[in-house]
């Protein structure tokens, strides 16, 4: 079977879906690899490295789509506003694998189904131990959590570490991380390495031990709940009254903080609003908010996705697609996730749709949208 790696078309996307180092392993598994010319250059992987690894370069995107049985992409379908350019090139029986935003952009999925492709959305990988090596959201969250701290440090008019100097003592910066998932834990670890005093909060009681193991002081608000997590391992949404109470309790911590990094997101829904405008106005001038949920509406009321604004002296960074800003290692992690998924999906040239992991990620198959939650979102949109 032929695996095709197109060049990414999402604006400013620098990642590539497969790195040269993994091409030999795909060959060993029985796949031929085609790559569009220049697909890996922005990530630091020139065409020559793919050729040396045994991949075949294809100059025309249309030719790549025509020859490939399986297409591996970073952002496709609902995750790429330029997907309409690729849609007519897809054909019945092809397999499409990548980030698709099937819950957030469910309306795109019927159009994808009409092309007759088998579409697998990597956002839907279940949070089970056996699937960890394929969990692209965790991999990309690791990169985003790291970069969020670097962004904060570059904008903060203070240094992060405690310093004892002849001119006096410099107190360390205070960082508050809201959401101790993968991105939050990486943000905690990075901020601590830079010398900041770090506090963390998560609605899941189990997160306390993980945050503290990285050196953060865990903030307890009395709202923590074992029900904050779905059976799939992803966050669960609560009602507005709950979030208003959460805001009131978070306010006192945010007021004394130099940097706030928010990471709270619920698949397929608007990100929970954790910081309102009034809370921002209580922060000291020069303080920083890095909102990693900006792409899904933002955890801060004043966040503008993809923009950095200043509100009464507080800098609010609407971080979008941060993983793409460190494309070399982000591509390395993403490629490994996809290679592991591909090896599970295909056994002796046949698709394995009986496994829990492949079933959970299958969105479109044989001309229909088949994923239950996507179908539910589509039905809900029709009744609104």
Is 133 labeled as catalytic in the residue annotation?
Answer: no
Q: Got the DSSP string for 148-186?
A: HHHHHHHHSSS-SS-EEETTEEEPPPEEEEE--SHHHHH
Our answer to whether residue 138 is catalytic in this structure is: yes
Give dist(CA 311, CA 301) in Å, integer.
Answer: 11
- Which member of 50, 146, 201, 234 is catalytic? 234
| C-alpha span between 136 and 138 (Å, rounded) | 5
Q: Choose, from 135, 202, 258, 291, the residue flagged as catalytic.
A: 135
Active site residue 312: no
Catalytic hit among 25, 111, 114, 127: 127
Active site residue 258: no
Partners of residue 365 on adjacent β-strands: 368
127 is annotated as an active-site residue = yes
Of 84, 91, 132, 248, the active-site residue reads 132
Measure Cα distances from 356 to 15, 119, 121, 254, 267 in Å: 28, 16, 14, 41, 19
CB 182 within 8 A of CB 203: no
Tell me the CB-side half-sphere exposure of residue 158, using CA atoms within 13 A. Answer: 22
Element (H, E) at 323: none
β pairing state of 217-218 and 259-262: unpaired
Nearest to 78 by CA among 87, 70, 69: 87
- 188 contacts: CB under 8 Å, gap ≥ 6: 177, 180, 198, 200, 211, 214, 215, 216
Of 73, 94, 138, 331, which residue is the catalytic one? 138
Could you give the residue numbers annotated as active site?
Answer: 127, 132, 135, 138, 234
């Amino acid at each position: 079977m032929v695996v095709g790696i197109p060049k990414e078309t999402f604006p400013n996307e620098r990642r590539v879906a497969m790195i040269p180092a993994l091409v030999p392993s795909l060959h060993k598994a029985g796949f031929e690899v085609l790559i569009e010319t220049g697909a890996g250059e922005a990530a630091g992987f020139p065409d020559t490295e793919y050729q040396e690894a045994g991949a075949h370069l294809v100059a025309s995107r249309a030719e790549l789509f025509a020859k490939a049985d399986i297409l591996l992409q970073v952002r496709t379908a609902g995750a790429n506003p330029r997907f309409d350019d690729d849609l007519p090139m897809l054909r019945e029986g092809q397999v499409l694998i990548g980030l698709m935003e099937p819950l957030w952009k469910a309306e795109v999925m019927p159009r994808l189904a009409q092309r007759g492709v088998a579409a697998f959305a990597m956002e839907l990988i279940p949070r089970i131990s056996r699937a960890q090596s394929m969990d692209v959201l965790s991999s990309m969250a690791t990169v985003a959590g790291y970069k969020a701290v670097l962004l904060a440090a570059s904008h903060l008019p203070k240094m992060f570490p405690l310093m004892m100097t002849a001119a006096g003592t410099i107190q360390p910066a205070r960082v508050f991380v809201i959401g101790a998932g993968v991105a939050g834990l990486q943000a905690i670890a990075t901020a601590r390495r830079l010398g900041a005093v770090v506090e963390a909060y998560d609605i899941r009681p189990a997160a306390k031990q993980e945050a503290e193991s990285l050196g953060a002081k865990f903030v307890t608000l009395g709202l923590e709940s074992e029900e904050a997590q779905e059976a799939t391992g992803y966050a669960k949404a609560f009602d507005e009254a709950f979030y208003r109470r959460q805001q009131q309790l978070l306010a006192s911590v945010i007021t004394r903080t130099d940097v706030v990094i928010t990471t709270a997101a619920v698949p397929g829904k608007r990100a929970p609003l954790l910081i309102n405008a009034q809370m921002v106005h209580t922060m000291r001038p020069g303080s920083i908010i890095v909102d990693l949920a900006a792409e899904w509406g933002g955890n801060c009321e004043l966040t503008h996705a993809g923009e950095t604004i200043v509100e009464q002296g507080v800098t609010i960074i609407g971080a979008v697609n941060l993983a793409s800003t460190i494309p070399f290692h982000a591509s390395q992690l993403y490629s490994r996730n996809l290679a592991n998924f591909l090896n599970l999906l295909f056994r002796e040239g046949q698709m394995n749709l009986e496994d829990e992991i492949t079933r959970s990620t299958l969105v479109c198959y044989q001309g229909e949208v088949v994923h239950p939650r996507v179908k539910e979102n589509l039905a809900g949109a029709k009744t609104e």
